[in-house]
């Protein structure tokens, strides 16, 4: 059955162009033109993916995303930003977005990203488990929670996937391209994207004793990242 996609975007020409490109690619796609009607559609039907503009009338995209994530974790969310402002992106990813695109973009590019979201990782992964890190920090990859100083900090499914991937490849340096291909399922990693770096920043805020001096997710200059624990 075709995956169903809701496009929440108030720029009508853009929304309809995206809808047509997705429909041509075999998806079921429909458009909501503002925040409240988008949320109402999401509550009424089990969409598989949402293309969510951040600047929306009625209710902004970030607010909508936070509300949605309180109700559903399984729907994939791709946010659209007018300017790739790092703070907006971090806020979007922390609120549970899976990926983003900066405007302007071509509908073909968006279709490729959406298809990547539905590509499944090889499921022969080791059991997700609880992990105790130095500094009194614990991570539960099954529950997607970080425990530190008596606090429970939720992780997004994507953050869990990244952590698991880094841990599974702890004996080597993991490049951004590795993550884009294996975790994000991009067909071609040769895209200009800060998605990986921004997710790493977000993860470090949750799991590092001092996010400014990361000890678990270390940067290997000019190469990528490596897990140390
Ligand atoms: Ca807009």
Distance 225 CA to ligand 1 centre (A): 35
Q: Are 183 and 158 in contact (CB under 8 A)?
A: yes
CB atoms within 10 A of CB 76: 20
pLDDT of the residue at 191: 66
Instruction: Give the Cα separation of 223 and 221 in Å (integer).
Output: 5
Distance 8 CA to ligand 1 centre (A): 9
Q: What are phi and psi of 152, to 5 degrees?
A: -110, 120
Q: Which residues fall within 8 angstroms of residue 66, CB to CB, at 6 or more apart? A: 95, 96
> Looking at residues 16-26, what average pLDDT do you find?
96
Distance 68 CA to ligand 1 centre (A): 18
143 with 105, same domain: the answer is no
Q: Are strands 130-133 and 137-140 parallel, antiparallel or unpaired?
A: antiparallel
88 with 167, same domain: the answer is no
Distance 87 CA to ligand 1 centre (A): 18
Instruction: Give the Cα separation of 116 and 13 in Å (integer).
Output: 24
- Per the model's pLDDT, the better-predicted residue between 2 and 119 turns out to be 2
Q: Among 88, 123, 158, identify where a domain stops.
A: 123
78 with 182, same domain: the answer is no
The 224-227 sheet, strands edge to edge: 174-175, 224-227, 217-220
| Domain carrying residue 170 | 130-227
- Residue pLDDT, tens place only, 62-117: 999 999 998 987 789 999 988 667 777 888 888 889 888 888 898 888 998 898 88
58 with 88, same domain: the answer is yes
Domains of the chain: total: 2
Q: Does 190 score more than 70 pLDDT? A: no
Which pair of tokens denotes residue 162? 């990244």
Distance 172 CA to ligand 1 centre (A): 42
pLDDT of the residue at 147: 93
CATH of the domain at 11: 3.40.50.2300
pLDDT of the residue at 26: 96
Q: Does 11 score more than 70 pLDDT? A: yes
140 with 119, same domain: the answer is no
141 with 111, same domain: the answer is no
> Looking at residues 4-26, what average pLDDT do you find?
96
Q: Does 42 score more than 70 pLDDT? A: yes
Q: Which residues fall within 8 angstroms of residue 97, CB to CB, at 6 or more apart? A: 52, 65, 77, 78, 79
Q: Does 127 score more than 80 pLDDT? A: no
Distance 201 CA to ligand 1 centre (A): 26
59 with 108, same domain: the answer is yes
117 with 135, same domain: the answer is no
- Residue pLDDT, tens place only, 202-217: 899 999 999 999 999 9
Q: Does 120 score more than 90 pLDDT? A: no
pLDDT of the residue at 124: 37
Of residues 71, 77, 102, the one with CA closest to residue 8 = 77
- Kind plus residue range of the DSSP H or E element containing 45: none
Q: Name the CA radius of gyration of the chain, rounded.
A: 18
Q: Does 126 score more than 70 pLDDT? A: no
Q: How confident is the model at residue 198 (pLDDT cuts 50, 70, 90)?
A: confident
- Kind plus residue range of the DSSP H or E element containing 66: helix 61-71
> Looking at residues 112-131, what average pLDDT do you find?
67
Q: Among 123, 143, 161, identify where a domain stops.
A: 123
Distance 189 CA to ligand 1 centre (A): 27
41 with 74, same domain: the answer is yes
Handedness of CA 219, 226, 144, 115 (dihedral sign): positive
Distance 28 CA to ligand 1 centre (A): 22
66 with 18, same domain: the answer is yes
Q: Give me the percent of the chain exceeding a pLDDT of 90.
A: 50
86 with 52, same domain: the answer is yes
Distance 190 CA to ligand 1 centre (A): 27
149 with 201, same domain: the answer is yes
CATH of the domain at 205: 1.10.10.10
Which pair of tokens denotes residue 170? 């702890």
Distance 4 CA to ligand 1 centre (A): 21
Distance 80 CA to ligand 1 centre (A): 9
Distance 116 CA to ligand 1 centre (A): 24
pLDDT of the residue at 123: 40
- Residue pLDDT, tens place only, 144-189: 889 998 888 888 888 888 999 999 999 899 999 999 989 988 877 7
- Kind plus residue range of the DSSP H or E element containing 219: strand 217-220
Q: Among 123, 152, 170, identify where a domain stops.
A: 123
């Amino acid at each position: 059955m075709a995956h169903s996609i809701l496009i929440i975007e108030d720029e009508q020409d853009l929304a309809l162009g995206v809808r047509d490109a997705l429909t041509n690619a075999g998806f079921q796609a429909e458009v909501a033109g503002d925040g409240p009607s988008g949320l109402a559609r999401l509550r009424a039907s089990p969409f598989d993916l949402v293309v969510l503009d951040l600047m929306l009338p009625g209710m902004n995209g970030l607010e909508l995303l936070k509300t949605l994530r309180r109700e559903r974790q399984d729907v994939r969310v791709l946010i659209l930003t007018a300017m790739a402002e790092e703070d907006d992106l971090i806020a979007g990813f922390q609120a549970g977005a899976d990926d983003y695109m900066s405007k302007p973009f071509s509908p073909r590019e968006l279709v490729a990203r959406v298809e990547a979201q539905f590509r499944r990782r090889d499921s022969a992964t080791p059991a997700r488990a609880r992990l105790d890190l130095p500094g009194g920090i614990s991570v539960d990859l099954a529950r997607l929670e970080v425990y530190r100083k008596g606090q429970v900090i939720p992780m997004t499914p994507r953050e869990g996937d990244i952590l698991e991937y880094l841990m599974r490849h702890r004996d080597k340096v993991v490049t951004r391209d590795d993550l884009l291909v294996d975790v994000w399922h991009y067909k071609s990693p040769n895209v200009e994207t800060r998605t990986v770096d921004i997710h790493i920043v977000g993860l470090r805020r949750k799991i590092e004793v001092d996010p400014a001096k990361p000890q678990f997710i270390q940067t290997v200059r000019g190469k990528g990242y490596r897990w140390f624990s």
